[in-house]
A and B are shown apart, each in its own frame.
Chain A
Amino acid sequence: MRDSVERSKTRRSGRYASLRFLVVGVVLAGSLYTLIYYPYPPVSLPAEALTRYLEFNAAATASIVSLVEDGVRARGTVVWGRFPLRVVLDCAALDAIAVFAAAVLAFPAPWRKTLTGVVLGASLLVILNLGRLVTLYFAGRADRELFDLLHEEVFQLVLVAAAVGAFARWTVWVQRREDRACATS
């Protein structure tokens, strides 16, 4: 009788933990999305910050592409070359980063590991996104239909899958460290 009560308590607390993680994650993701995609006035600090980030992406893409193609440079948020490419907010992987960060922040873990997870995961997604932009440039140069397919479907899915995979890997790392800490305590 006592065992079944204990098991029922464990199941209830597990269910609450899952629900809490989900609710907090969704609220955080929604908040981050609102921060990123809110229609700010053009001359405002958030709008300027986002524009600078897009310009960084364009400049980094142009730098990488110019290693193999001469005359490619970035002006503002546009990569000018044989296939002009404008980097807009949808191309900056900020949505995937927001989802990843929300999941990590909602997961119960020590704050140091949470901070490490957010920084490393966001950096990984930024690097992946640069790879996406470079690939899109060359795809656009080669074949417009290939560009459309990669741009609208493949890379969006790849980034979301990368965010999910990075979160899963981070949770494994957190749990392993905690298990090791328990074993040595």
Chain B
Amino acid sequence: MRRVRPGWSARVAVFVLLFAAVAWPRPSWRVAFSEAFCRVANVMTRGVEIGNGGRFEFQAASDTSVARSVGENVTSDARLVLTAAHVKGQMVLGINTRRDAFLPLAIFVALIVASPLTAWRKVATVLAGGLALHVSAVVGYVALARWTFAGLPQPIYRPDAWVRQALDIVFHVVLLPPANRFVVPVLVAALLVWPQIRRHGHRGTAPHRAEC
């Protein structure tokens, strides 16, 4: 890898400033994003059923209800409401769309804007990667709903043993670790930007051992 060029310091500064500007905590932005995310997620998952009539719905929290529930490690700004046909009542899971969807998107966008791509490539990359990150956030919540249904005493969702084990691993290894929300956008940005840089601008070298 070549020595870091002065240009990269400016790009790091752009990333930091842009990310700080976008991610600065603003309650109105948080509520607005939560509402928008829930609407889109509900459209994407309409008609999805889990097991024997298990359903879920995203509900945005009002600006007065963004809080941490008793026993929870993090605050929540939306709810994942689980219901099932033939079963009374509902189960409500607090979710944090700011941490799970907004901040990863903000990191990704700031990385792409700071990258040495042309303007049009930046726009295309932001759209493609942003969509991928949004879809992965929704898929993560669907996996959370599945895992929760699989653990309920009611016979709503009874997967095979290996599916249950896989859900356990996905929940504990993919969904729980908080760093994943910040590592994944960096990885997605690297996957999308690196080939473009190599193809159109050889700005760096691949990881290699120096050859004498």
Contact residue among A17, A36, A99, A178 (Cβ-Cβ distance under 8 Å from B183)? A99
Q: Which residues of A contact B1 (CB under 8 A)?
A: 171-172, 175
* Residues of chain B in range 157-181 having any CB-CB distance to chain A below 8 Å: 168-169, 172-174, 176-181
Per a CB cutoff under 8 Å, which of A107, A149, A152 touches B96?
A152
Report the Cα distance A33→B183, complex, angstroms: 13
A4 within 8 A of B: no
In the assembled complex, B203 has its CB within 8 A of some CB on chain A:
no
Binds B, one of A49-57, A59-67, A70-78, A157-165: A157-165
| Given known contacts A38-B169, A99-B183, A107-B207, A22 and B96 CB-to-CB distance under 8 angstroms | no
Interface: A138 (CB within 8 A): no
Per-residue interface assignment for chain B, residues 123 to 135, with 1 indicating a CB less than 8 Å from any chain A CB and 0 otherwise: 0000000000000
Q: Is the CB of A108 within 8 A of B179?
A: no
Q: Is B10 an interface residue (CB 8 A)?
A: no
B143 within 8 A of partner (CB)? no
Q: Name the distance in Å between B158's Cβ and chain A's nearest Cβ.
A: 19
Closest to B4 in A: A172
Interface residue? A88 (CB, 8 A): yes
* Chain A hits for B194, CB < 8 A: 18
Interface residue ranges of A73-94 to B (CB < 8 Å): 88-90
Answer whether residue A34 sits at the interface, using C-beta atoms and an 8 A cutoff: yes
- B73 touches A (CB below 8 Å): yes
Contact with B206, one of A17, A149, A172, A181 (Cβ below 8 angstroms):
A17
Q: How many residues of B contact A (CB 8 A)?
A: 42
Q: Which of A22, A37, A171 contacts B172 (CB 8 A)?
A: A37
Q: How far apart sit A95 and B184, CA to CA, in the bound complex (Å)?
A: 12
B residues contacting A by CB (< 8 A) are 1-4, 23, 25, 68, 73-75, 96, 98-99, 103, 107, 168-169, 172-174, 176-183, 186-187, 190-191, 194, 198, 205-212
Question: Could you say which of B169, B172, B205, B210 contacts A179, with CB atoms under 8 Å apart?
Answer: B210
Asked if B210 contacts A14 (CB within 8 A), the reply is: no
Expressed in whole angstroms, the Cα–Cα distance for A105 and B170 within the complex equals 24
CB pair A38–B172 under 8 Å, yes or no, is: yes
From A18, A33, A107, A179, give the contact of B177 (CB < 8 A): A33
A100 to chain B, nearest CB (A): 10
The answer to whether B208 touches A95 (Cβ under 8 A) is no
Contact between A96 and B75, CB atoms less than 8 A apart:
no
State the Cβ distance, B67 to closest chain A Cβ, in Å. Answer: 9
Chain B CB within 8 A of A153 CB: yes
Pair A88/B73 contact, Cβ less than 8 Å: yes
Distance in angstroms from A133 CB to nearest chain B CB is 14
Q: Which one, B4, B73, B210, B211, contacts A90 given CB within 8 A?
A: B73
A34 and B208 within 8 A (CB):
no
CB contacts (< 8 Å) of A34 on chain B: these are 169, 173
Contact pick for B208, options A17, A22, A96, A164, CB 8 Å: A17
